[in-house]
Each structure stands twice: as structure tokens, then as C-alpha cells.
């Protein structure tokens, strides 16, 4: 990308399954009370940051989050299937604690290497990065300068990896809470990353991974 642009990678509010440590993947659960409060606060922050365009995953938990953004950020989102969360395959809807017991070997291999190992019938991070690259190939053509992408914890890591040219280890080190916004700014061949958390910030780098720029 050669033009000056700011990308905001936004996660949906906490869901009932997030709170229950249950794997969602492409399945959905409703936002929790905490998640609804997080979404409203994130919408307020995005308005203050001057977001002028929104891309979004079409999954239900993102749509519920967007509805809570609307009073603060009245921008119609552009939904894109490539922004959906990873496919958890046969593990979707299962509790992490149960999978550690019932599929111990397969789950241990997946926990050790999300980048190349797939859940049965699911995706890995290499698959997510392929989707992310295809998305940016199209999204980079829009004329807007401050673009929010409202998606999911795993998918946002893949999007950040593409923007920051991260290695697999750096990608997997990133963590994003439900009320954290990643901001990645590109200008004159330089890319700089920081983040906002719980309505405060900016703070240096990305949470977990600590990447600040390339």
C-alpha cells in the first residue's frame, strides 16, 4: 500500500460462549451483558477516532456488536465473508476443557501449533492469512482513510499479520481482548501499530505480541 491509511481491527463484544470458554468458530452465541457494554464503548471510541468506513464479518455476534455501534457510528457496514472467524470444524460449540480430555492428542497438537495444524474439518492460521491477503487486495482500493474491520480474535490476528508482515510465531503471540482495538497506520513505506483498550489509549504495540511497526 502506498497511500496513507489507518486500519482499525475491532473484535466483537464478549459472547456467552466466550465467557464459558466454548469454541465458537463459525457458530454463534449472543453477546453477554459485559459484551454489550464493551460494544457500546468501542463504538464510542471508533467515532472519536474518526472511522469513515466499516468492513465486517457477517456472523451474528458481529452483527449484534454493530447494532450497538450504530448510535455512535452511523456508517453502514460492508459485509465480507472472508472476514468470518476460522472454521473450528468438528470442534465448534465444544468447551475447551472437554476437548483437552476427549481429544487430548489432537487438541494438544493444535494448541502447540495453530499456524499449521487444523481442527478436524477446520482451518489453520495459514488458511486465515490466505483469506486476509485476498480481502486486502480488494479492500485497499476503497478511497477511505480510516477503515475499521469488525471481526474476530483469530481472524484479526491474521489481518494484522498481513499488514505488519509478521512471522507465524509473531502472529500467534498476539492476543486481542473483546474490548481492544488494534490500530495499524501505513504511510510512506512505514507501518506503525498501537492499540486501545477498554476505551483508553493509545498504547504502544499490539497486545500479547508487542509489535510496534516495520
Hey, how many other C-beta atoms are within 10 angstroms of the C-beta on 174? 25
Residue 59 sits in a domain of what CATH number?
3.40.50.1240
> What's the helix, strand, coil split of the chain in %, to 5?
40, 20, 40
174 located within any domain = yes
The answer to whether residue 85 is catalytic is: yes
214 located within any domain = no
Interval 131-158 mean pLDDT? 97
pLDDT given for residue 199 in this prediction? 94
Interval 29-46 mean pLDDT? 98
pLDDT given for residue 121 in this prediction? 97
122 located within any domain = yes
195 located within any domain = yes
Catalytic residue among 12, 114, 152, 195: 12
Catalytic residue among 14, 64, 85, 129: 85
| Number of domains, the chain | 1
pTM greater than the 0.85 cutoff: yes
Cα separation, 171 vs 168, whole angstroms: 5
The overall average pLDDT reported for the chain is 95
pLDDT given for residue 208 in this prediction? 78
Interval 28-45 mean pLDDT? 97
209 located within any domain = no
Cα separation, 83 vs 48, whole angstroms: 24
Hey, how many other C-beta atoms are within 10 angstroms of the C-beta on 50? 9
Interval 134-158 mean pLDDT? 97
pLDDT given for residue 212 in this prediction? 41
93 located within any domain = yes
Give the structural domain span for 89.
5-204
pLDDT given for residue 188 in this prediction? 84
Strand order in the sheet with 200-204: 78-79, 53-56, 146-151, 5-11, 180-187, 190-197, 200-204
Amino acid at each position: 500500500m502506498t497511500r496513507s491509511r489507518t486500519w482499525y481491527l475491532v473484535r466483537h463484544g464478549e459472547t456467552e460462549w466466550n465467557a464459558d470458554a466454548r469454541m465458537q468458530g463459525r457458530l454463534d452465541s449472543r453477546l453477554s451483558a459485559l459484551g454489550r457494554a464493551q460494544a457500546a464503548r468501542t463504538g464510542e471510541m471508533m467515532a472519536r477516532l474518526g472511522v469513515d468506513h466499516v468492513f465486517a464479518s457477517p456472523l451474528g455476534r458481529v452483527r449484534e456488536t454493530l447494532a450497538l455501534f450504530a448510535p455512535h457510528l452511523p456508517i453502514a457496514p460492508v459485509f465480507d465473508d472472508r472476514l468470518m472467524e476460522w472454521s473450528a470444524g468438528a470442534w465448534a460449540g465444544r468447551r475447551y476443557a472437554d476437548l483437552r480430555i476427549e481429544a487430548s492428542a489432537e487438541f494438544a497438537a493444535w494448541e502447540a501449533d495453530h499456524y499449521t495444524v487444523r481442527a478436524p474439518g477446520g482451518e489453520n492460521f495459514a488458511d486465515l492469512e490466505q483469506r486476509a491477503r485476498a480481502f486486502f487486495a480488494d479492500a485497499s482500493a476503497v478511497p477511505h482513510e480510516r477503515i475499521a474491520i469488525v471481526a474476530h480474535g483469530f481472524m484479526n490476528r491474521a489481518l494484522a499479520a498481513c499488514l505488519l508482515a509478521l512471522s507465524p510465531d509473531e502472529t500467534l503471540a498476539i492476543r486481542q481482548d473483546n474490548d481492544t482495538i488494534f490500530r495499524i497506520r501505513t504511510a510512506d513505506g512505514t507501518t506503525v501499530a498501537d492499540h486501545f483498550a477498554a476505551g483508553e489509549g493509545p498504547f504502544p504495540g499490539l497486545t500479547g505480541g508487542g509489535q510496534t511497526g516495520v
